[in-house]
Structure 1
């Protein structure tokens, strides 16, 4: 992306600009955790971050622009994928990372607020999709390595496997309210591994007949 087409504030800065970005994103995250997206106000973010209001409005433009850059920052600082040497081991580490995020007192509230923002704002929705695209791209080598070892069908879709790991954990956070504990984490990883081994996530390359 060029600076003109990137999400507001999402071009990685350096020096003083980096410090300003860090302060603003921390303040925005705090306010999202405290009150959610509906009342996120750029002037209040600027005051809490002790940054000039004009700077915040010029760089991030809208509350959705702040959410977008917050997601960029979260993607940039996310842990790299694991390499345990086995599909189950890698998927379990992925599930544990998701579970840790969703049970962290700050991060879980922040994700709720970001997801709420994405349901009502196209910019926030695009940023959320980009965040998960980054996460899936980072962890896909775990599945492709399993394919190379012959543990999975060649046509297996790595992103579908990884989505199957995280989906039940997000369901617990956002819908059922059931705990995102070690039992749930292990079950999510095992279920995804079993389904992948059975070819559930294999993408057919055969053209349908008439």
Structure 2
């Protein structure tokens, strides 16, 4: 039996229209542009629909993270080649507008809205997950694994976010090699 009333979520078409516009606004104007009024103006979707499904900019960001494509990984037999491939992929993503722009916007947004800090953390954790997956096969303890992931990824994020320079791919590859040499 179906109950009368509004559906639980937006139609896939409405969601696609709103979230596509939201990403464009976010990349060009920042988190503050994700208001229902601004999304309505950009999409023509009614403000009530936007308020119902994405009442705050935080909700819009959470939806964008939820629908963000995750790069498929196909683990090999050895961690080394996988880690090097992940370094290259992350450096490319940090250079390209969707990831780079989204990361800059969510970091800036979290600076003025503390409720965005968990989303920033979630987004960065998603970027780090492939490194954890590759390193998990090496037998590192949890603490050592987290230290190794941080040693590889943190300088890349520092370059991209704070120093406004390309992520140092070669340095990250040397870090991977140093970590793996320490395991042998």
Q: With structure 2 as the length reference, what TM-score do the two structures score?
A: 0.80
Task: Give 1:135 shift.
Answer: 4.2
Match for 1:186 among 166, 170, 177? 170
Task: Give 1:119 shift.
Answer: 2.1
Task: Give 1:104 shift.
Answer: 0.9
Higher helix share: 2
Match for 1:58 among 22, 37, 52? 52
Residue by residue over 1:144-189, the C-alpha shift from the partner in whole angstroms, topping out at 9 and shown as x without a partner, is 2122xxxxx5566433322322211111112223323xxx223213
Equivalent residue of 1:146, what SS? Answer: coil
Residue by residue over 1:63-112, the C-alpha shift from the partner in whole angstroms, topping out at 9 and shown as x without a partner, is 122112212222xx211334233222111111122111111134322221
Q: CA separation of 1:134/1:39 partners in 2, compared to 1, >3 Å: closer, same or farther? A: closer
Q: CA separation of 1:170/1:154 partners in 2, compared to 1, >3 Å: closer, same or farther? A: closer
Q: CA separation of 1:155/1:48 partners in 2, compared to 1, >3 Å: closer, same or farther? A: closer
Match for 1:125 among 107, 117, 121? 117
Matched, 1:170 2:161: no
Q: CA separation of 1:63/1:56 partners in 2, compared to 1, >3 Å: closer, same or farther? A: same
Contact 1:82 1:94 in 2 (8 A): no
Matched, 1:161 2:148: yes
Q: Any stretches of 5+ residues in structure 2 without a counterpart?
A: 1-6
Matches of 2:9 and 2:31 in 1, distance apart? 29
Aligned length: 177
Match for 1:38 among 32, 36, 58? 32
Q: With structure 1 as the length reference, what TM-score do the two structures score?
A: 0.71
Structure 2 match to 1:9: none
CA RMSD for the aligned pairs? 2.7
Q: CA separation of 1:155/1:29 partners in 2, compared to 1, >3 Å: closer, same or farther? A: closer
Structure 2 match to 1:68: 62
Contact 1:172 1:179 in 2 (8 A): yes
Matched, 1:146 2:138: yes
Task: Give 1:15 shift.
Answer: 9.4
Contact 1:27 1:49 in 2 (8 A): yes
Task: Give 1:30 shift.
Answer: 0.6
Contact 1:28 1:45 in 2 (8 A): yes
Q: Structure 1 residue runs of 4+, over 4 Å off?
A: 13-16, 153-156
